[in-house]
Structure 1
């Protein structure tokens, strides 16, 4: 697969690392040679697994040594296919759907992010050996999986102000951020002393190989890690120190960028953590605007042109010397600001909508806009002033909320996936091929 097409694949692979065609697409394009796994009443074909593995190996065509042995890679990819198939079945059972219109918007977004027209996108897919139908099916599946996660998490994750206060009291929110990667050497349930010693030695050996320069950390993760992010080179991404489990913070703070921790025993096995790089967070400010506004709504009984003419007449009266606030109180149809003489208060640029925000940025203080249209009607606004507002504390609370919500969401969804996997009938037939 052409590496230049990686951004398009990245858009597809928000939830998985391999391009995973849906079952219908796979059956339409490849013969049924054998069954790789049985998943409840469904099956994953050997051809589907081969296609997914081929996409992984194609992405690493210039660095094939970074991939694990074929049998290990097949097992990793099959595990993901199984989990994806179970989630898709649950999403459809739950009534989650992606309309053709929503899918068309997603495809347009993929094309736009890659600076392509849809025709160019089609041509690139053909060039890389992917049919447009497979692309559509895979993208629809990704959207279904994301909506399943959102629906499940939103119904179960709540963050209280008390939880935010508690986190802020014990952690320094808004401090340095670190980018991390990890490698996990898994231990089986009920691991024996011999299992533990073997896993610890393997983790130490991996660390030694990387530190000697024989292989980089990302390649080692791909080859040796048992973690779900193995095929991403063990990448964890940027994390604030306050978003990291307290047991690991001290360990990470002792590392310099590029350094790797000693093996750390966790619930699932031994873990190596690499500090990739660090960055500081500074004081955060936001430009806020103060304005007055008048809204004339366009309705089925008030055509848009009639509303525009009324807005224009009101503006003319203000420019001629009448008081903006008095006219707003009498004529504005914005119930949020009318009683205050159209006073919109201090607000971020797009708080009242992007149409209002676009006008504000073009006006000078004291200047009155020409009538302009939004989705609700016609507006006239007067920009009164701007200020730079320190939002560091507000953002700290928002960060704390996101940290707690993310932790809860990950815990809840991981629990959901484990339960779903445990309740499913899954039979791998890789050893029977």
Structure 2
């Protein structure tokens, strides 16, 4: 099966079934998570799925008890995120889940029935898959809402662009994390430091590969992926060690580094140069004003067109276009600015609108024309050749910095949520309960 479906199957098995307890009343409870539970059968399925992903590489997996703990922590976080999303009023309808299932099937060139058959072949019920997919959608929306808190300032963008001045190198990183709780005691910090130093010693002596050590020892959510952090530009790397990364050699390991989550070891796996990002990209931009008259479905076009013809005649006769736009336009955003749309490329407002603007001379007013938004007249104010490469780079850097900030804040949010929850783990060496 292709990668997309395999990834979804893995997520589905990790998420488990919310109805499993009703189906298996004698199933043991692996953990209590606030008012929810994780069943032993769910944990077993998730562990088996991870073992299947490591078929032929079983030696890289940690001991059975460590693997079980890592997988259980993932299940706990999934439960907590879904519960938090539900508490904010987020609900996913059956129709939305149906749409998501259909999209997944199409992406894999399957019908929904064929997808159902493939799930059964891989040992997952269709009900469990839908349930986990619902959780995945609601968690994504929770993260999107969380992202609204993130802001990136212009000085941050300027600093990142200055750091990129010598080129546009990306770095593929991996890490090992020894986590520390919020408000860690001196003893906990000392224990964590001894552990990370011990891991570093294993690596320096060549007794274990970095990825295998990450799987076995890391407390990071991506431990089972060998600690892989993927490709990152400098502005996507925490500033505390971005400068150090820039001077590293491929294969080099730095650390321990003390961060908000605990102690880390960082390895530079690869580097690549992705070019300068669009220098010299010129595009014609227009500045224009418009007056919009909306037409509801089923209404005749003639009244709107006639009104705009009258307004155009008044402009040609000397009336102020901006004043007429303020008084008559039904575009509530631009009317407050006298119909001003600012600077835009030809197709920014759709090909029909752009084609009309491109036909005008500066200062000229178009005849009435129709787009999906309604009927318009447009006055072209000016044109310019803009270097969109510069603006494009700033937007890319803004997005990169925002993603790094979101990742940092989201991980902090997950740690806080985990610390505040009542967690009663009933598997492993001994039952353990914690409450924030």
TM-score (normalised: structure 1): 0.74
2:283/2:388 contact within 8 Å kept? no
1:199 matched to 2:199? The reply is no
Q: How many residues of Structure 1 are paired with residues of Structure 2 in the alignment?
A: 407
Taking a change above 3 Å as real, the CA distance of residues 261 and 169 of structure 1, as seen in their structure-2 partners, is same
In structure 2, the residue matched to 1:90 is: 84
1:20 matched to 2:19? The reply is no
Taking a change above 3 Å as real, the CA distance of residues 58 and 29 of structure 1, as seen in their structure-2 partners, is farther
1:391 matched to 2:388? The reply is yes
The whole-number CA distance in structure 2 between the counterparts of 1:83 and 1:150 is 17
2:172/2:270 contact within 8 Å kept? yes
The whole-number CA distance in structure 1 between the counterparts of 2:24 and 2:276 is 54
Cα RMSD (Å): 4.5
The whole-number CA distance in structure 2 between the counterparts of 1:153 and 1:339 is 29
Cα offsets for 1:283-314 (capped at 9, x unmatched): 423755659889664315xx26x439987xx9
2:160/2:235 contact within 8 Å kept? no
Q: CA deviation at 1:238?
A: 2.2
The whole-number CA distance in structure 2 between the counterparts of 1:34 and 1:57 is 21
The whole-number CA distance in structure 2 between the counterparts of 1:265 and 1:345 is 47
In structure 2, the residue matched to 1:423 is: 420
1:206-355 matched pairs, under 5 angstroms: 206-209=203-206, 215=209, 217-257=210-250, 259-267=251-259, 268-284=262-278, 285=281, 287=283, 290=286, 297-299=294-296, 303=298, 306-307=300-301, 335=331, 347-348=344-345, 351-352=348-349
2:199/2:213 contact within 8 Å kept? no
Taking a change above 3 Å as real, the CA distance of residues 182 and 427 of structure 1, as seen in their structure-2 partners, is same
Taking a change above 3 Å as real, the CA distance of residues 400 and 272 of structure 1, as seen in their structure-2 partners, is closer
Larger displacement relative to structure 2 (119-128 or 156-165): 156-165
Larger displacement relative to structure 2 (103-112 or 74-83): 103-112
Q: CA deviation at 1:35?
A: 1.2
In structure 2, the residue matched to 1:319 is: none
The whole-number CA distance in structure 2 between the counterparts of 1:176 and 1:121 is 40
1:182/1:236 contact within 8 Å kept? yes
Match of 1:78 among 56, 72, 75: 72
In structure 1, the residue matched to 2:30 is: 36
The whole-number CA distance in structure 2 between the counterparts of 1:191 and 1:247 is 23
The whole-number CA distance in structure 2 between the counterparts of 1:360 and 1:405 is 32
Q: CA deviation at 1:427?
A: 1.5
In structure 2, the residue matched to 1:414 is: 411
Taking a change above 3 Å as real, the CA distance of residues 393 and 96 of structure 1, as seen in their structure-2 partners, is same
Taking a change above 3 Å as real, the CA distance of residues 205 and 18 of structure 1, as seen in their structure-2 partners, is farther
Structure 1 unaligned blocks of 5 or more: 316-321
Structure 2 unaligned blocks of 5 or more: 361-365, 432-436
SS in structure 2 of the partner of residue 19 of structure 1:
helix
Taking a change above 3 Å as real, the CA distance of residues 360 and 59 of structure 1, as seen in their structure-2 partners, is farther
Taking a change above 3 Å as real, the CA distance of residues 416 and 192 of structure 1, as seen in their structure-2 partners, is closer
In structure 1, the residue matched to 2:51 is: 57
1:111/1:118 contact within 8 Å kept? yes
Match of 2:140 among 138, 142, 146: 146
Q: CA deviation at 1:7?
A: 0.4
1:179 matched to 2:133? The reply is no
Cα offsets for 1:72-98 (capped at 9, x unmatched): 111001111112212222221211112
The whole-number CA distance in structure 2 between the counterparts of 1:129 and 1:349 is 52
